[in-house]
Structure 1
Amino acid sequence: MKRPVVVPRQESLMYPIVKNPFVHNLQFTTLDIVRIVIMSVTIAPVRLVSLALLFGLAWLLAKISLACRTPEEKQKPLEGWRKFLMRPMIMVGRAGIFCSSFHNVKIKGQPSTAKEAPLLIVAPHSSFFDSLVLFYCSEFPSVVSKKEISSLFLVGTLIEYTQPVLVKREDPNSRTNTIKEIHRRAHSGGKWPQIIIFPEGTCTNRSCLINFKSGAFYPGSPVQPICIRYPNQFDTVTWTWEGPGAFALLWYTLCQFHTKCEIEFLPVYTPSEEEKKDAALFAANVRATMAEALAIPVTDHSYDDCRLMQKAAKLKLPKAAGLVEFMKLNKKLGLNFDAASELLDRFYAIAKNSDGKITYEEFANYLRLPKSDALEEVFSLYDRDGSGTIDFREYAIGLSLVSSPENTEETIQFAFQLFDEGNKGYITKPELGQILHNAFNMDGLDSDALFDEVDVNQDGKICFDEFSQHAMKKPEYAKLFKTYQDAKTNGHQKQE
C-alpha cells in the first residue's frame, strides 16, 4: 500500500538539484594511465626538482626582503627596495606555475589596484593550485592565514612575505580581531596591498558556489570578484573532502603535458548602502554575480557540511550522510552546528544499515513499536521525498518541524495521564502495556522492555519525571501521542 503524503513538502527545505560539491571522482582511462607511467619516469621528476629549486629561490628572496626590519616597519606595508623585490618574486612564481604544467594561464578582464578594490574575492575554491592567482594580480596581494602556518619553516617565510592577516586560533576574539584588521587595511586608501580571500572557506568540485563567509564583506569596501576555471578533460587539480590526496594530485598534474587554467577578473563590485550595513546580503549578492559569470548554481552548503561529513565517517556512516545544506537548515530552522552534531548521533543510533538511511522497520524498532497506520503516518512526515527511507537531512527537518514542536509539556502531561489510571502519579507495567496494545497494537514483551527502559530507578513504577525525561530524549513519540489524542478527541465528538 502506498503511504499517503500527509503534509505538503516545503520546497525551501527540499534537496538541491546540484551534485555533492565535496566529492571528486577521478576516472582514469588507459591512455591516462600510460601517460602518467611514462611521465613519472621522464618529465615529472624534472618538473618536481625545478619546483623545489624555484621554491628555494622564492624563500631566499622573501628572506632578504624581510631581513633586519624594525618593529615599526613590521607594522607597515613593505616599502622601497623591499617592495621592489616583489617583481622578481612574481617572476619566480610564474616560472613555478609553468613548471607545474600550466604553460599558458588565460587571463580575462583587468586586475584592479588596491585603491580601487582593497579586497579580492576568489571562487570557486577547489584546489591548492588556486594560489597561482596571487601571481596575476596588479600587485602581490596579502593572504589571510592561520598563525601556526606562518611559524612553519620555509613556508612561514613565504606567508610572512605576503604581509598576511593572521588568525590566532587560541584567541577567543580571533574572528573579531581579524575582521578589524581587514577593515583597517581596506580603509587605508590603497596604502596596504590588496587582501585575497577565498570566502567559501573550503574546497569544492566547482559544480556550484557554496555559502560565502561574511568576514570579507564586513568592511563594506569595494571588492573585485575573481573567477577561476580549470577546463581540463582529465581533472587532476580538484582537491575535495572525498577524492585523491594532495600529493597524488600534484604528481598527476606534473604528469600532464599541459594543464589549462582561466582567471577572470570581473568588474569591481561597489556595495550599496544597504549592503554596507548587511555583510550577509553583500556576500550573497557578490556570490550571485560570480555564479552568473561562471554559469553554475549556488547552494547553501558550507564548511559545516564538511564537519558533519567527517563526523558521519567517524560514525561509520557514508560521508554524504552529513551533507545537509547546513546554512539552509540554519536559516530556515535555526539549527546550529552543535545541535546538528547531536542529531547526527541520534540518527546513527537508529540507522543501523550501512547506506546511512533509516528504514520504516528501523524507525519502528527504535521506538519499540509495531508497524501501524499511525506510525506509518508519522514516518511519512519525515520521509519528505517519499523514497521509503529517511536520510539525516530529512530526520533533522522532521524533528524540527514534526516532532519537537509537538513535544510540549501539555502533550507529555496528556500522555502520562493517559497511562496513569486513577491519577495515582505513576504508571504501572500493566497500565503501560494495556494502552500501548490498544493504541499501537504493541505486544507484551515489547511493552515490558519499553517499561524497563523508562523506569530508570527500577522501582516497578514510572513517575512523571521519568516519563518526561524519556519523552524529551525521544521526541519522535510526541507526534504519535498527539495523533492518538486527536483520534480520541474526534471519537468523543462523533459520539456526542
Structure 2
Amino acid sequence: MKRNFNVPRQTSFIKPEVQNPFSHRLNLSIVDKIKIAIMSVTIAPIRMILAGLCLLLAWPLAAISVAFLSKEDKQKPLSGWRKSLTRGLLFMGRCLRFLCGFHKVRIIGQMAPASEAPVLCVAPHSSFFDGFIMFVGDALMSGLSKIEITSIPFLGTFIEFTQPVLVRREDPDSRANTIREIRRRCQSGGLWPQIFIFPEGTCTNRSCLITYKPGAFYPGVPVQPVCLRYPNRMDTVTWTWDGPSAFTLLWLTLCQFHNYLEIEFLPVYVPNEEEKKDAKLFANNVRDVMAKCLGCPVTDHTYDDCRLMVLASKLEMPMEAGIVEFMKLHKKLGISYDQLNKYLEKFHSIAERKSKSITINEFAEYLHVPQSSALEEVFAMYDRDGSGSIDFREYVIGLSLVSNPANTENTLKMAFKLFQKENDYISEEDFNTVLHNAFKMETEEIHKLFEKVDSNHDGEISYDEFKNYATKKPEYAKLFTTFQDQTVENGQPDKTKSE
C-alpha cells in the first residue's frame, strides 16, 4: 500500500498561467503561403527598397543635427535649428512605418506632455516594430541605449539624434549614473524629450507581462503606461528567443497588405510616497494597471530565463526546459543565476535523453540505486504536479525544499552510522549488506557505487569520503532519512539509535 506523506506544496510555487512567454510559432496555411509567394516578387521588394531610401534620406538630417556638438552641448536638449530638423525626421519615421504596412495606427487615449509624464512605460515588448511609438507625438522621444550603439555606422547617428540616456555597462556606477540622468531630465520641466522604456527588458509573445526591471522607476517620477497591441490575423511581428529570425519576420510583415497596431495611452501614474521609496513596488503596481488593461496575466519570468533557455539549447535540450520563473525562485529560495546554471547542467546529466524532464528510471540510474518505495517517495516530493516526471523547475524546487535542507551534518552522520559496524570506516561488505537489504541492489551495482565513493581506492570509505560524495548529490540525504523513517514505521529497530 502506498504511504501517505507530507510533500511541500506552497501555493507561492504554483506554475504560472503562461508557461513560456518566449516562444512564437507561425502556422501558415496554403493560402498564406501563396499570398506570401506573390507578395515576395511584387510588393515586398518595392517596400524594402523604398524603406531603404527613406533611411538614406533621413540620415543626413540626423547627421547635420548632431554635427560639431561639444561634450557640454550633448548634456543639453537640442534647440534652435537643430531641433527644427525633428519634424523632418518624424515625417521620415512615419513614412517608414507606412512602408512596413502599418498604414493606420489606432491611438487610444491621449499622450501626456513631457512636463506631466517625463517617462513612458511601454509594454508588452514583443517586436522591433515597437519602436514606431517614437513617431506618435509631435517630438521624437528618447530611450535607454548602450553607449556602444552610438558608434555603429549609420544607425548610431539616428540613435545619437534622439539623445538617449546612455548606459555604460562596464562602469560599476552605471545604474546610479543612469538614475541620476533620468532624474535630471525629468526635472527640466519638459525641455528634454520624453523617455520611453520597455520595462520588461526583453521581447515576449505578448501572452503575459513578465517582471518589470525597476531601473526607470528609481527616480520616482510620474510615468504614463502605454499598452501595445497587434490585432493581426497572422502574427508576423513577434520576435522572441524561440521562433522565426528577425529577417524572416520583417519579410513576412512586408508581405502583408495591412498590418495593424494599437497604442493605448493610460492615465499618468503618479507614485505615492511608499512607491517613491520602493522602485520594485512602483514597477509592480504599474505592471498590474497595464495587465488589467490588456487583460493578460503577470508572471515572474525575466531576462535570466532567456539566458537559461540559451544554455539549455547549448546542452542540446529543448529551449523551454530552462524556463523556471527566475525572479520567483530568486525571491522565495534565494537562488542565484549562477546556481541555476549549475543546476541546469546537472539536470541535463540526469535527463540523458536530452528531454525537458526526468523519469523515475533516470532518477534511479543517476543515484545508482534501483527503484524502491523510499526512492518513489522522494521522487514524488520532487514531482509537484504528479505528472510522473520532473521538469527543471520542479527539480530546482525539490533540491531547495526537500534535499538540501535534509543534507545536514546530523543526517550524514546518521547515514554513515547506518552503514558502519564496529570500525570507524565502511567496508565493502558492510556497504553491500545495507544496500542489498534496503534497496535490493545487486552486488555488481553496489561494487560500482562503492568505488565511486571510495575516492582514494583503499578499500574503505571514511566519513570524509562519504560526506564528500553525499554532498555532491544531496538527493541521497532525503533518501537516507526516508528509508530510516520507513524502517521505524515497519517496526524494525533503528540501528542509528542503538547505542
- Checking the alignment, whether the CA contact within 8 Å between 1:5 and 1:380 is kept in structure 2 is no
Contact 1:6-1:380 at 8 Å conserved across structures: no
Cα drift, residue 107 of structure 1: 0.6
In the TM superposition, what is the alpha-carbon distance from 1:70 to its structure 2 partner? 2.1
Deviates more, 1:246-255 or 1:409-418: 409-418
Give the letter aligned to residue 441 of structure 1.
Answer: K
CA contact (8 A) 1:3 1:380 kept: no
Cα offset for 1:446?
A: 1.3
Q: Which position in structure 2 is the counterpart of 1:141? A: 141
SS of residue in 1 equivalent to 2:64: helix
CA distance, structure 2, for counterparts of residue 455 and residue 339 of structure 1: 27
- Identical-pair percentage: 59
Change (3 A) 1:102 1:476: same
Query: Is the 1:168–1:174 Cα contact (8 Å) retained in structure 2?
Result: yes
Q: Which amino acid aligns with 2:35?
A: R
Rate the CA distance shift 1:282–1:434 in 2: closer, same or farther, 3 A.
same
Question: Whole-Å Cα distance in 1 between the matches of residues 86 and 2 of structure 2?
Answer: 69
Distance 2:188 2:429 in 1: 77
CA contact (8 A) 2:309 2:319 kept: yes
| Paired residues, number | 494
What is the Cα deviation at residue 44 of structure 1? Answer: 0.9
User: How far 1:431 sits from its partner (Å)?
Assistant: 1.3
For residues 2 and 483 of structure 1, the distance between their equivalents in structure 2, rounded to whole angstroms, comes to: 14
* Equivalent in the alignment of 1:15: 15
Report SS of the residue matched to 2:385: coil
Deviation at 1:23, TM superposition (A): 0.8
Paired AA for residue 207 in structure 1: S
- Residue 224 of structure 2 contacts residue 269 of structure 2 at CA under 8 Å; is this kept in 1? yes
Give the direction of change, closer, same or farther, for the CA distance of 1:372–1:47 in structure 2 (3 Å limit): same
Q: Confirm whether residue 467 of structure 1 aligns to residue 437 of structure 2.
A: no
- Code of the aligned partner of 2:426: I
**Structure 2 match to 1:458:** 457
Counterpart of 1:207 in structure 2 is 207
Unmatched runs of 5 consecutive residues or more in structure 2: none
- Cα deviation, residue 3, structure 1: 8.1
Alpha-carbon offset, residue 19 of structure 1: 4.4
> Is the Cα contact below 8 Å between 1:364 and 1:375 reproduced in 2?
yes
Instruction: Report the 3-state secondary structure (helix = DSSP H, G, I; strand = E; otherwise coil) of the residue aligned with 2:221.
Output: coil
Q: What is the identity, as a one-letter code, of the residue corresponding to 2:382?
A: Y
Counterparts of 1:72-471 in structure 2, within 5 Å, are 72-422=72-422, 424-471=423-470
Moved more, 28-37 or 259-268: 28-37
Q: Which amino acid aligns with 2:453?
A: V
Give the letter for the 1:428 counterpart.
S
Q: Deviations over 1:254-287 (max 9, x none)?
A: 1110000000111100011111111111100000
SS where residue 225 of structure 1 aligns?
strand
Deviations 1:178-222, CA, capped at 9 Å, x for gaps:
223223222333232211110101111101101101101111110
| Deviation of 1:65 (Å) | 0.6
Q: 1:45 aligns to what?
A: 45
Q: 1:190 to 1:472 in 2, by over 3 A?
A: same
What SS class does the counterpart of residue 72 from structure 2 fall into? helix
C-alpha displacement of 1:488: 4.7
Secondary structure at the counterpart of residue 143 of structure 2: strand
**Contact 2:224 2:266 survives alignment (8 Å):** yes
Task: Decide whether the 8 Å contact of 2:455 with 2:465 is kept in 1.
Answer: yes
SS in 2 for 1:403: helix
Q: Match of 2:446, as an amino acid?
A: S
* TM superposition shift of 1:443: 1.8
Cα root mean square deviation, aligned: 1.7
Q: Tell me the secondary structure at the aligned position of residue 205 of structure 2.
A: coil
Task: Identify if the C-alpha distance between structure 1 residues 3 and 317 changes in structure 2 by more than 3 Å, giving closer, same or farther.
Answer: farther
Once residues 190 and 458 of structure 1 are traced to their aligned partners in structure 2, the CA distance between those partners, rounded to angstroms, is 75
Structure 1: gaps spanning 5 or more residues: none
Structure 1 residue 5: Cα displacement: 6.4
Deviations 1:64-115 (A, max 9, x none): 1111212211111111111111111111100100010000011111111221
TM-score by length of 1: 0.96
- Alpha-carbon distance in 2 for matches of 1:179, 1:350: 44
2:66 alignment partner in structure 1: 66
Residue in structure 1 matched with residue 34 of structure 2 by the alignment: 34
- Structure 2 residue 480 is the aligned partner of structure 1 residue 481: yes
Deviation at 1:133, TM superposition (A): 0.4
State the AA in 2 paired with 1:32: D
**Structure 2: distance between partners of 1:189 and 1:347:** 54
